[in-house]
Structure 1
Amino acid sequence: MEECVDEFYLSALSDHDQPFPISDQTYAEELHLQEVLMSCILSSLPNHQTLPPPKYPTGEVGESSGSHVCMEEKPSEDMFKNINTPSCAAHSFCHDMSHVFKDCSALPIDSSPSVEPGDSSKSSLCGICFEPKSHDEIFLTKACEHVFCMDCMGSYVASRIQDNATDVLCPDPNCDERLKMENCHPILAKEVFDRWGDALCESVILGSAKFYCPFKDCSALLLDEGVVFEESECPHCHRLFCAKCKVPWHPGIGCEEYQRLGVDERGREDIMLKTLAKECRWQRCVKCGFYVEKTQGCTYMLCRCGYGFCYGCGDQLMAHYCVKCNL
């Protein structure tokens, strides 16, 4: 019976310079590696057929177990006779591999064109976050060719409007193109878009012709039409204010008298106290600002701060007689 041996083993035996160039352990590892590679290739193919394991000659080379093989201590003469003829194991391996490559040729091949890095139709790099974005995520400025994503542009425009800016430029530091309000509408929240519109309206009004509602919780933009109305009503919060003094309405006090008051005396409580003092005919010390009331005696009043004044006119007195009031 003709024996078949592995070509790898025969090539090692045919080396006249080194009869056994590899050890038994190395040869066993090579055989085991071939089995693993063959198993991986076949398992990756669809509908593959299980191929029989390679056949080894009985007696000369045993089946591989781990990394050890059993061999005769001395090779037989029949082995050297079959050196120039293909071995059964090699023929079986080539036959098996021909089926493998035939099955591989039947696999579907992805013929779709690859996306080049500069293909903006598929993805583009945002100039702010520097991340690739799809075409649906890109904001088109229409003023320049710089590319930014919608999320970054929405945050950028909102921050500029928060700073009361009316002209919003392209985020690129080397670009002076202005963004249009109508183009940014889809990426802005309603309150941000409305605030931008209000800022644009304010920018076209002269500074001398506009003022704001004096109430801090309103602060609506108002237009001075040049008509003299001291007592006016805010069209937004419907509260009264003085259009001449640009302050909440000061009942009982004229505008000239109000302007003479100190900054710390123009509060609502201060005005109420001044109105009460006028009704009760109290007099105020011009030095310390303390109110006094005369119950009896002459018009000469000596304040607790040591300042003497006339209760009738408020002028300073050094004696108990006022020439101005003749009292």
Structure 2
Amino acid sequence: MFIHNPALADEVSALNAIYGDGVLAASFSSDHHTTLSLKLPSFAFSFLLRVFDDYPQSSPEMIGVDDLVESLKPEAQRAAVYLGACMRAVHCPETVSLFDAIEEFETICRSLDLQCQRSEGVDHVPEAEPANRAEILRDLALRARAKTEVRLAEESHFDIVDCVTEGVVSTFLSREEMTCCGQSIPIKLIRQRCDFKDDFLEAFCLWLQERNAPNPTYCPWEDCLTYIPRRFVRQDYARCPFCDRAMCMLCKKKDHSGVCRQDKKLNALITGSGWKFCPCGQLIEKNLGCNHMRCRCGEEFCYRCGKAYERRMPTCNCGLFG
């Protein structure tokens, strides 16, 4: 039978290709809705589904089963309730969802051993515990409700541009969580709906990044002290995009020459090798000679204790050798 809804027609073809021909078929189709017959291998009857013409915007509905005798059995009634709840729980507007609903339903059936009158001829199947059934249905209902609330918030509440604008400004000034009437405001929505200038939006987005960063980095230069976004940070250094000056990410201080003394791996190597730092920060190794060191920066110091020389004379009692 011809299906008027193109999205539904494509999904029916795909599901029949996955599960086998005849698993999903249309028994009625019009501009208003389509009635589908779903025949799953685990059941001796078919489920009847009603899909409206705006699908996948709206969720499919459960009508019942196609067999009058089977429809009177509690097992068939429970199965129909489960499948209907699964369709509501997995449905997302603008996204076809019958495959996800079937997979969810079969998972529940396996977990509860709910196999209503198998095609092999089994007449009786042990019932699942009522508490388990109630828990599963409650979980499916909560999932469906949560998706509905999100959709309503996006479609209705955030149409109030003045409310969103007020929430953004209040958030930016108070430096608190970005909410409007208790709901989070997506930054994409702010760009689309609010008439803010580009410089304000840029500052607002930068503040959001700073607020959500687990370990924010700040420029160490006293005349800047600005938050540095993550994209400007490298493993051992960062460059501030505002003042264009660099900083060491190991010690979180201004950029310096030589190696950083906060480098733990390097410190372990230095300790093991007996190397020393010049007061200027350069790393020096003595391979022979006395303890009187002269760095390429011009600084003179004792290699043993690190104290500086004054007028080429030691200020310590370490001695030239030893």
Give the alignment's TM-score, normalised by structure 1.
0.30
| Higher strand fraction (1 or 2) | 2
Structure exhibiting the larger radius of gyration computed from Cα positions? 1
